[in-house]
Amino acid sequence: MSRAQASRTGRLFHRRRSIPGSAPGTLAAAPDARPPAIRIIAYGPDGVIDREHADPDEIAALRAQWPVIWVDVDGLGDVALLRRLGAEFGLHPLALEDVLSTHQRPKVESYGDHLFIVTQMAETVRPFVAEQLSLFLGTGFVLSFQERPGDCFDPIRQRIQGSSGRFRANGADYLAYALLDAMIDGFFPVLETHGEVVEALEDRAIREPSGEIVGEVHAVKRDLLLVRRTLWPQREMIGALLRDEMPPVTAQTRVYLRDCYDHLVQLIDMTEVYREVSSSLFDLHMMAVSNRMNEVMKVLTIIATIFIPLGFIASVYGMNFETSESPWNMPELRWYFGYPFALGLMTAVAFAFLLVFWRKGWLRRETRIDGRRRGRR
């Protein structure tokens, strides 16, 4: 099973890692969790330090030296490291437990001096796979925990390292907003790709209806369902950050969060539209198959209708009554033009039927489902 398939299965059917009845705050990493890699970016108006594969021992000194520090952890396979970071930043044990439980619903929780934010980040487009992103926001620090390496935060890192001090002049709450905004914008390519796939399937369902389309439509609907399940709770989470007064988030940053909320509403609208279109593709497919079957039945019916009188004429002339016994016993059998007459009669009847069908419009070109003209078969 590929990583994408495993991730999809994990998003639909979750399995708890902690033993039922265990103490709250019990930390248990998944057996297949990756070993963590730490990247630390500390910055302020005067400069920035970027440490890849950093040592946790550097955190205390960097916190004392720089106004804002961002600790990015890729991989959740080291429980001891998580406890160490929790002790360094004063994180609540229940929040640390949720970091390792990667089936959490997007949410925001306040723990006094810091916030814990859980969200889902798009990892692959097709098939759609999301990975949990956990953020801790406090005074002067942001901690981010990802399941696997690779994210959509490179533009944020470039903005921090840029020569302009506009980004570095803001606090940690602005960094958290920028991460959430980049994560939300990462869903637009996902939906745009699925929209193109839905349009292509719609065209194929009309032009070339086949059984393969049903499976492809089901896969698209499954992806869109996962996207919807990911986006709806995120809207509630961003709405909570806008409504509630949470000390780490300033009023200035809350204005920027409105943009995140607007993007989420737009994404949800796109998801609903694509889901409705993909659901209607089943009906469109069945309509196209039925229309094609009706065309086939129409042709066969016309052929059968024409041959019914021809068969009757042939059967009459095939009775072979003895003409010597009675002058009424098919005198045409001894007629010099009897055979050409029979063939001519059959041809005339066939053309008469075709003329009738043409006048009734049964043989004329018809409009297909996609609005184009269909030629005679």
Q: How far is CA 112 from the centre of its chain?
A: 37
The single residue listed with the structure tokens 């929780």 is: 109
CA distances from 65 to 62, 141, 158, 191, 280 (A): 5, 12, 21, 42, 59
pLDDT for position 74: 92
Which residues, given as ranges, of the chain have pLDDT below 50?
1-10, 13, 367, 369, 372-377
pLDDT for position 65: 93
The answer for residues whose C-beta is within 8 angstroms of residue 178's C-beta and 6 or more apart is 156, 159, 167
pTM of this structure: 0.74
Please name the amino acid found at residue 377.
R
| Torsion angles phi and psi, residue 146, rounded to 5 | -120, 150
The answer for residues whose C-beta is within 8 angstroms of residue 336's C-beta and 6 or more apart is none
Q: Please write the tens of the pLDDT for every residue from 243-291.
A: 888 888 998 999 999 999 999 999 999 999 998 888 888 777 777 777 7
CA distances from 257 to 211, 241, 243 (A): 45, 8, 11
Where do the H-state alpha helices sit in the chain? 3-12, 59-65, 79-89, 93-100, 154-161, 172-185, 187-207, 211-243, 251-317, 338-359
Between CA 353 and CA 274 the distance in angstroms is 48
Q: Please write the tens of the pLDDT for every residue from 19-65.
A: 565 666 677 777 788 889 999 999 998 889 999 888 888 899 999 99
Burial of 213 per CB tally in 10 Å (0-12, 13-18, 19+) = buried
Domains of the chain: 1-168 (3.30.460.20), 294-374 (no CATH)
